């Protein structure tokens, strides 16, 4: 899950997230990744990602997606939040 500020252009954040996820080689194209606004929390907009990979590649893929999204947010100037509601 990724957390972006309310000041963020949500459509852009979803698009940037999707592109970053798809850029990870271990993420399978079918079924295609799903990126959705999962919650409008009190301090952030929460974006959930469902991406599929081989079970033997789960942790490597998990960390690759985390890094890819973080880097993409910085490059695209997406205002991400470091705090999230519990």
Q: What is the mean pLDDT of residues 42-63?
A: 95
CATH code for 2-76? Answer: 3.30.70.100
User: 59-85, pLDDT tens digit by residue?
Assistant: 999 999 999 999 999 999 998 876 655
Q: Domain coordinates of the chain in residue numbers?
A: 2-76
3-state DSSP helix/strand/coil percent for the chain, to nearest 5?
A: 40, 20, 40
Q: What is the mean pLDDT of residues 24-40?
A: 95
Query: What was the pLDDT predicted at 83?
Result: 60
User: 5-23, pLDDT tens digit by residue?
Assistant: 999 999 999 999 999 999 9
**What is this structure's pTM?**
0.89
CA pair distance 69, 2, nearest whole angstrom: 8
SS3 20: helix
């Amino acid at each position: 899950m990724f957390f972006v500020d309310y000041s963020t252009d949500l459509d852009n954040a979803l698009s940037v997230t999707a592109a970053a996820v798809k850029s990870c080689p271990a993420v399978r194209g079918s079924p295609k990744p799903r990126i959705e606004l999962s919650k409008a929390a009190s301090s952030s907009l929460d974006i959930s990602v469902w991406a599929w990979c081989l079970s033997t590649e789960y942790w490597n893929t998990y960390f690759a997606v985390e890094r890819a999204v973080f880097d993409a947010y910085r490059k695209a100037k997406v205002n991400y939040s470091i705090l999230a509601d519990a």
